[in-house]
Structure 1
């Protein structure tokens, strides 16, 4: 039995459903949590509801509903919900057993977290909230004891289920609520406390991060009523919490829920990059490579708004003074509407807010997606599609003259400075995505690498970009309709090499495998250090590709329906030594207009 589990009491059940109970992990207002094993011998945590709650039909209905919603939360820095039986005589919930101490236990024993661990915690909890809110769930009881410091990344537990108890008036009177006072948002103490939004969890995120960085609640007081009074009337005491994380925490702890960032905003800001990379954050992600993967998967999983409806989030006044530069953003007019639980980064938001995020989080940076070498299994036979004539000089002429036109302009970016795409220095992967009058991608080993850029999910669209291949053996790469599928990131890959374009699926089934679909050779190779304009039009099951406005060929495949567009590099040749370099400028994205 795990050393953190206490022995079972004489009156405790020994078995619930398929699960053999082994010990006690804890007890709270809703019930007792047991360590158990499933039929395969895997350890799980089983939360058994208190008897008086189980006898309440209203609670059971709420519990059943909340369990169904909690099961929709993807396991990105959360303890996965595995099973539940709300109709059992003793209702219970089964979740992933997280082998790690709670944040509260670690801080009580060792004091505040180191800068590296603190940054990792901030990203991990923001990732969890992005996943939770994206599923339409509000945690309601985020606190240090509900954050477990597991190997690989933090894990948030006990999300969503508190609402079942809070909504049952017999067990929570008019002056009571579920939660821990020091981590409760001001609006939870008012008459409209039952109408909470995800902003309450963001407030709790700020309080949890402040606790982890200072060793105490930012609203510490002698009693819960005094704490509540401080939350309602006083600014937070953030002690020694240092920038740039301090600025994000202050924003999260705003008294007005509308003034707080969303959980997705927090994650985007934490993962924004700047040439002055934070050593603490770099160390956090170097020690926890799975953390960045989970964060980026959570971002991708919450990119659900069609391109034709892209909107820009409001930029805080003090950040709006940062010039966005020459990037042009064209967006359809939309009527204001309530924000969804987890808004995603949009082309408009990033163009207007990328430098603002940098101003807010000056030294935050990320190490990059941890990707291995993914060698091609061998190219498909050369296409018989007529090839393009010899290349003409690069131009920013209209897109896709040989294929259907996508006419609704979504974004234009010269890619001469961080705006839609961001800097990244990833020593662990021997790769950088840095701006030098172009987005220059340099890789010191074989394999693929995707640079951080917009997170919007696109369906039918055209992307055109000027590409310059640098050192011998370098190939650029476009990822199209790239998104989480069956738990893995996957989509279409177009490698841009001197001799032609190589189209493949990437990541089907495992997030790794590259399966060639077709090779489209150029009539003449791309000369070294020569800029060409490559465009890809994705419509339905057709991918049409052009070089300098002339058709190169088309590929038919219906595997992927929607996803991100990403720029990067892919080197797979053993004939040349690294480093490999590719430079991008003048990207343009258009969607197909409705009707």
Structure 2
């Protein structure tokens, strides 16, 4: 038996030889393993009781596919996964380095320069994560690894598979650490989906903890901490300067009042650098993208070199080889790289098919957005400078263009008549015109029919037999009205086609037998219906 393994631990997982145990968590156990190529990797094995839960497997597969879209320069790159293994597992890069929690525990609160570097590094990682349509949901000091080349944020992207699986999310049971949970995480009765703003709240709590050695809402119990998060202002005593203002904004109770990850990053780079932090702050446009990529390990064609390995826990056995110096020197470079790589929040993301469990693999349209650089305003809706919104697809996806939702397989268009039940038609009436309303990385779909004063947005309705259909709904962002849009390919006219997916209820499909649009968790069934977004002029 390999050193570090306990009785009952696996010695092999798929093609990976298990070398030892790295740690345990609420979602499973992390093992150190060796790949067939001889590379050390970290393998997260989920809890065995989930092995036979098909709903979990589907969501796990979907979230892994989303996580694979995240740029790896400041996060744990997802290398492999097997949702069908018993039990399922996820393989990520491995790196030697302590967690931020371990550093604070052993050394106490961070100095100004190191704190600024941590704040920049985590904001950079969140910009990349959110740009790929992923929400971390469990950001905390234990999930921030400090390595010689910079920080790495780990364990992102799969928490939702656990939390969203109904039988594993009973009352008062959710994935995450209470001290770093946003207020909306506790409002489970509302049905509102948790958005990227929850990670911004966690960023504020992590930075405050790193600065002071305590949680800004710390209570005597988890319940007391949760009540303080819901009702009390944060305790930021000991945190000063421009960073205090950013942390305070990140810890706002209202998700819409918090900055986005990109806005955090911009604020950190334009703020006055603390003494000893490595010189003046770098602006995102401070050097050409090619130069930045070369500085961070890429070539002059913009291709990234493989980043250092990363692990998924902060246990003992890792080293702190000059990490403070490395962080101070690399934070600005990492931040510039994310600007060059993402070109703002990526509403258009890497194209991959929707997962057969009914969630999107990439969570959104599959291309980058070179022509426009959206910035999220307080309402959460990206705004694009008119002078830069020349990309027609980008204009559609930022709510600037009216569209037809053309069902490719049946050559028909969706329409929302006055009675509020979704139908298909020839696309000629005023009830066939829609506009996309961005909600984080997803969308509400709003009818432009002037006769519909109430319930103009599409929403999922479940009837008494459990049949899920699309109907008119009020335009509030809920699990029933927010949809992901994932690129599928081309239609017969050469237009990009998309799947329309509700993370909660499944994929929008056409039923040939019922002659109606419905919503279905696919399971192992194929995707039968895709949509073209046909431009119908300015919104």
Give the TM-score of the pair, scaled to structure 1.
0.52
Find the aligned partners of 1:293 and 1:235 in 2 and give their Cα distance: 34
Tell me if 1:278 matches 2:318: no
CA contact (8 A) 1:76 1:127 kept: no
CA 193–97 in structure 1, closer or farther in 2 if over 3 Å, else same: farther
> For residues 11-50 of structure 1, what are the structure 2 equivalents within 5 Å?
11-50=8-47
Whether 1:292 aligns to 2:332 is yes
What is the SS of the residue equivalent to 1:282?
coil
Following the alignment from structure 1 to structure 2, what is the Cα–Cα distance between the partners of residues 196 and 107?
A: 29
The answer to whether structure 1 residue 131 and structure 2 residue 128 are counterparts is yes
What pairs with 1:132-147 in structure 2 (closer than 5 Å)? 132-147=129-144
Alpha-carbon offset, residue 79 of structure 1: 1.0
1:168 is aligned to 165
- Contact conserved, 2:81 with 2:90, CA < 8 A, in 1? yes
Structure-2 residue corresponding to 1:258: 256
- Where 1:48 maps in the other structure, the secondary structure is strand
Question: Which is further off, 121-130 or 100-109?
Answer: 100-109
d(CA) in 1 for partners of 2:190 and 2:68? 27
- Aligned 8 A contact 1:98 1:155 in 2: no
How far apart are residue 193 of structure 1 and its match? 5.8
Asked whether 1:207 is paired with 2:205, we answer yes
Residue 40 to residue 250, structure 1, CA distance change in 2 (3 Å)? same
User: Which structure 1 segments of 5+ residues have no match?
Assistant: 317-327, 343-593
Q: Distance in 2 between matches of 1:306 and 1:81?
A: 23
Q: 1:248 to 1:39 in 2, by over 3 A?
A: same
Partner of residue 229, structure 1: 227
- Asked if residue 301 in structure 1 is aligned to residue 341 in structure 2, the reply is yes
In 1, are the aligned partners of 2:257 and 2:378 still within 8 Å (CA)? no
Maintained 8 Å contact 1:219/1:236: yes
C-alpha contact (below 8 Å) 1:221/1:227 kept by paired residues: yes
Larger radius of gyration: 1
1:73 aligns with 2:99: no
Q: Deviations over 1:461-492 (max 9, x none)?
A: xxxxxxxxxxxxxxxxxxxxxxxxxxxxxxxx
C-alpha distance in 2 between matches for 1:40 and 1:175? 43
Give the number of aligned pairs: 329
**Counterpart of 2:150?**
153
What are the Cα deviations for residues 91-142 of structure 1, in whole angstroms up to 9, with x where unaligned? 1100011211111111111111121111111011001101100100000000
Match of 1:95, SS state, is strand
For residues 100 and 254 of structure 1, what CA distance do their matches in structure 2 show?
Answer: 32
Q: What displacement does 1:228 show?
A: 0.5
Question: CA, structure 1 residues 22+188, in 2 after alignment: closer, same or farther (shift >3 Å)?
Answer: same
CA distance in 2, matches of 1:239, 1:196: 29
Aligned-partner Cα distance in 2 for 1:75–1:288: 20
Q: How does 1:305-324 map to 2 (within 5 A)?
A: 314=377
2:196 maps to which of 195, 198, 205: 198
Is the contact between residue 163 and residue 174 of structure 2 (CA under 8 Å) also seen in structure 1? yes
> Whole-Å Cα distance in 1 between the matches of residues 371 and 268 of structure 2?
27
1:60 is aligned to 57
Aligned-residue Cα RMSD (Å) equals: 3.0
Q: Secondary structure at the match of 2:72?
A: coil
Tell me the secondary structure at the aligned position of residue 207 of structure 2.
helix
Matches within 5 A, 1:78-97: 78-97=75-94
Gaps of 5+ in 2: 280-323, 347-367, 380-384, 390-394, 401-435, 443-537
1:388-443: per-residue Cα shift (whole Å, max 9, x none)?
A: xxxxxxxxxxxxxxxxxxxxxxxxxxxxxxxxxxxxxxxxxxxxxxxxxxxxxxxx
